[in-house]
Amino acid sequence: MTSLRPSWKLKLLLFPFVLPAVAINLFLLFLLLQSLGVTALSPTTALIVSVPLAFPANWAASRWVQGLLNEADKS
């Protein structure tokens, strides 16, 4: 059985895609929360806040991609 632990190269490759995805999702979440009276987040603030949130998301995405790579190697 191969490990699901992703390499640092895979994590580094995916991070530039994960960071803006987290920022966009955070920005859209706060747009939806405006209906509950929460003030909207500016895109710049969403990008800044998403930096620490992108690390666990990057780990999850890397683990998922590593699982797909392992599955492709089996066949």
Q: Can you give the residue range of the structural domain that contains 45?
A: 8-74
> Does residue 48 belong to any structural domain of this protein?
yes
pLDDT at position 14: 96
Q: Which of 16, 17, 44, 18 minimizes the C-alpha distance to 30?
A: 44
> Does residue 2 belong to any structural domain of this protein?
no
> Does residue 1 belong to any structural domain of this protein?
no
> Does residue 26 belong to any structural domain of this protein?
yes
pLDDT at position 6: 85
Read off the pLDDT of residues 23-57 as tens digits, 9 standing for 90 and up. 999 999 999 999 999 999 999 999 999 999 999 99
Read off the pLDDT of residues 9-24 as tens digits, 9 standing for 90 and up. 999 999 999 999 999 9
> Does residue 23 belong to any structural domain of this protein?
yes
pLDDT at position 55: 97
Q: Sign of the C-alpha dihedral, residues 18, 20, 24, 26?
A: positive
Counted domains in the chain: 1
